[in-house]
Structure 1
């Protein structure tokens, strides 16, 4: 009878009611006014994974290395593992833990105490039982476990965000490196051209065909270009350092690649509708929602603190005065100790805890809605960048072509003696500036495409998930 009663009480504890409010996803902010964001669900295909989106083999190799060695990502993975362990600790409180104990005592009582001579006594026992198991009749322990699980899910979404951010940062740094290298090469060619021009002007000056002013202008142009050359050498070296830090391991210091002259050759064109429904799958938004669910569960735990807490201690085993008879049929023993704790007066502590839980939930709602608005802004900015950077790049390419013609005509007229050296110098400077502007516009276009890919949530492959969860084991999937 007692065993049946104990079993029923344990079942009641494991299946206690929950005082947490029913979870309802908060109303999402309106996407009205955000350029390119649609309220309706998208019928477009899903985003490609990053290997498909970023076709450059050197870039793919750098990203693979970064996913393995980046220190910030490793810290994020350990944070996920820590949160997972905390969930397991909290969840274990839902179930009774069994403890086995064994003891033996030997006691001597002197004649001065007994008056009948020295007495020797022994006692041995072996028991197994449950100690201070809380019957979760009002869902306090269950809600704490649910909150810990949702916190783990939120941290795991932060891991996904970290991976997507790392992939995007490596891609942007790589593209900037290629652009800086092209600017460095352009400046080296310009310095070489200025040196050749200076040699020609020096010869003409020595022969009396050029003025001292022309010679001074030629030297000024050369030294200015040499200063620009030093600037781009520094930029390239610093960009390598940026890549080195992101990758977390040595990188090839002689990356030889150029920005593609045709759109879509390095980064696939993203033909994905930016619907508000699609954006709700962003890991930062999912993380915010899991944190909101955790706050919701904590309200249930805080409410349960107002109700009695029932705990059970029960054990069974054997006890005997001799070790030989410890496991005999007549040595059995058991103990059943229920306990109840009823809150009577706590100076408002429980109410304050409930107030904190409710306020935390309200803050979590705001954080969730803010995450959605942040997603709207980032996607809208990236879409605007795609549109206007593309227009700028095409205009700069046309400007560059016109400046090439201008330079060739100025060079021919100078060599024929029809124009001054100043006219040629202006054409050279204009050509260099046009090439700089074209590279800058192309760089902005490619980086904005990476930003759009990141803003839309990034592509996610199961292989990457396996690689970045080596320190974690399986847990239930969030609904």
Structure 2
């Protein structure tokens, strides 16, 4: 028995696994991202989310979301599933031992055995050992696929975190923008109410017509109609953010920050395209899916060959319990089992074709994911650059419109400017301020999209002392 076991172990160690060994496909990556001329290996994506989103309120919201979000918890449970599957697969490489015992009494009918004592005790004790010799690498390839599934599940969990961090930042910045637009609207309401009073007084003195009063009141109503729209959008955004935090729809406490005071992520280069393959969790997930599909080709090929197992058993059988452990009651066996599928041979060959096609699907999916990632980074780079330029131009427009409004109002009060000059200047200034707020939001969201496209946001936050530099 011992000699046979050693021979089987030596044969097992020398056996090779069927199927192709995995090699990362050569996708001929570009040397740098489009619009990036730095060529630096440093990347914004290597920064932790607490370094990029430095608003204390936002940082606290992100931490809560990563702790309580249901999608993150579901992804973590799937990792546990994949880990348990890998551990169960690993046990197939070990001998399988089973034991059984029975104790009973049997009564024989007088019609079948005319014996004086028709009652018999029957007891048995057995142990069976079976060990499949993995000559063709079926179990090893299965374990390789299970390990890739585990890594893919963990990468998927990290990808969920990246999306969650970006979603929380997006909803938070959107809330601040809506708050600011609501403040602008309310301030405009106060100015227009005062202008309605001024126009009404001038009408009573006979210096303006009733048309001027009606037009001023219409301008006031236009601003008033904007208030419930903004309040609705604020409530809905709060509800969405509450869901991301793992809670029920509720108001989100936040300080009255000016959107312009929000720090934009540092202008670090995006890094090298080759490093994106390691940093972005969704690309690691796609690659591990390819690794698993490649390993399953070997599993399918191994199914074409016979399964070889060592078997052994030892037991005792006795009609009396007292003799169960005596030498005459012992029985044992040892052997080698060879199982070759015959009727399923064609089916197994089709399974090889199926697995090979699955590997090609995974390969093409991986390449598509990589190309999509490069496009997302390029889009985010041009987005961050152009939104910042647009915001600067819009800020200059607001400054000019504010000067025009003040001049038109001052001239109107002394009778040097027409009423319609004031109305036009007020309307243009109001629209320019709202547009500037949206431009600032777009600049912040462009930074969020770039950080997400570079694969940042899944890193675990350091302890509070380390995060604050204490």
TM-score by length of 2: 0.91
Is the contact between residue 14 and residue 94 of structure 1 (CA under 8 Å) also seen in structure 2? Answer: no
CA separation in 1, counterparts of 2:418 and 2:163?
A: 53
Matched, 1:174 2:161: no
Which has the larger displacement, 311-320 or 388-397?
311-320
Provide the alpha-carbon RMSD of the alignment.
2.5
Encode CA deviations 1:178-226: one digit per residue, 9 max, x unaligned: 0011001100111111111111111211221210111111011011111
Change (3 A) 1:50 1:233: same
Give the stretch that moved more between structures: 269-278 or 311-320: 311-320
1:316-360: CA deviation from partner (whole Å, max 9, x where unpaired):
233333222323455433222532112334362111100111111
Whether the aligned pair in 2 keeps the contact of 1:44 and 1:273 (CA below 8 Å) is yes
SS of corresponding position for 2:47: coil
* Cα contact 1:12–1:137 (8 A) shared by 2: yes
| Equivalent residue number for residue 297 of structure 1 | 295
Q: Whole-Å Cα distance in 2 between the matches of residues 29 and 247 of structure 1?
A: 40
Shift of 1:373: 0.6
Aligned CA distance change for structure 1 residues 189 and 15 (closer, same or farther; 3 Å): farther
**What number of residue pairs does the alignment pair up?**
461
Pairing partner for 2:270 from 250, 253, 273: 273
Separation (CA, whole Å) in 2 of partners of 1:35 and 1:165: 23
Once residues 352 and 37 of structure 1 are traced to their aligned partners in structure 2, the CA distance between those partners, rounded to angstroms, is 48
Residue 98 (structure 1) aligns with: 97
Matches of 1:5 and 1:11, distance apart in 2: 10
Aligned mates of 1:202, 1:43 — CA distance in 2: 63
Contact kept, 8 Å, 1:37 with 1:275, in 2: the verdict is: no
The verdict on how the C-alpha distance between 1:316 and 1:7 changes in structure 2, with shifts beyond 3 A counting, is farther
Q: For residues 109-162 of structure 1, what are the alpha-carbon distances to aligned partners after superposition, in whole Å with 9 as ceiling and x for unaligned? A: 34543455445433322222225x422111112211211110111111010000
> Is 1:36 matched up with 2:31?
no
Q: For residues 57 and 36 of structure 1, what CA distance do their matches in structure 2 show?
A: 32
Correspondence for 2:306: 308
Whole-angstrom distance in 2 between the partners of 1:463 and 1:271: 20
Counterparts in 2 of 1:152-231, with a 5 A limit?
Answer: 152-231=150-229
Query: Structure 1 345/157 Cα, relative in aligned 2: closer, same or farther at 3 Å?
Result: same
Shift of the 204–37 alpha-carbon distance from structure 1 to 2, 3 Å rule, reads closer
- Structure 2 segments unaligned to the other structure (5+ residues): 464-470
C-alpha contact (below 8 Å) 1:295/1:361 kept by paired residues? yes
Specify every segment of 5 or more residues in structure 1 that has no aligned partner in the other structure, as ranges: 466-479
Query: Does residue 1:322 correspond to 2:320, yes or no?
Result: yes
Relative to structure 2, which stretch is displaced further, 204-213 or 444-453?
A: 204-213
**CA 1:173–1:218 in structure 2 vs 1: closer, same or farther (change >3 Å)?**
same
Residues 38 and 269, structure 2, Cα contact 8 Å, conserved in 1: no
Matches within 5 A, 1:349-368: 349-368=347-366
Q: Is the alpha carbon distance of 1:40 and 1:309 closer, same or farther for their aligned partners in structure 2, counting shifts above 3 Å?
A: farther
Report which stretch shifted further, 171-180 or 114-123.
114-123
The answer on whether the counterparts of 1:98 and 1:130 sit within 8 Å (CA) in structure 2 is: yes
Q: Determine which of 410, 417, 420 is the counterpart of 2:418.
A: 420
Distance 1:269 1:150, change over 3 A: same
The answer as to whether partners of 2:313 and 2:332 remain within 8 angstroms in 1 is yes
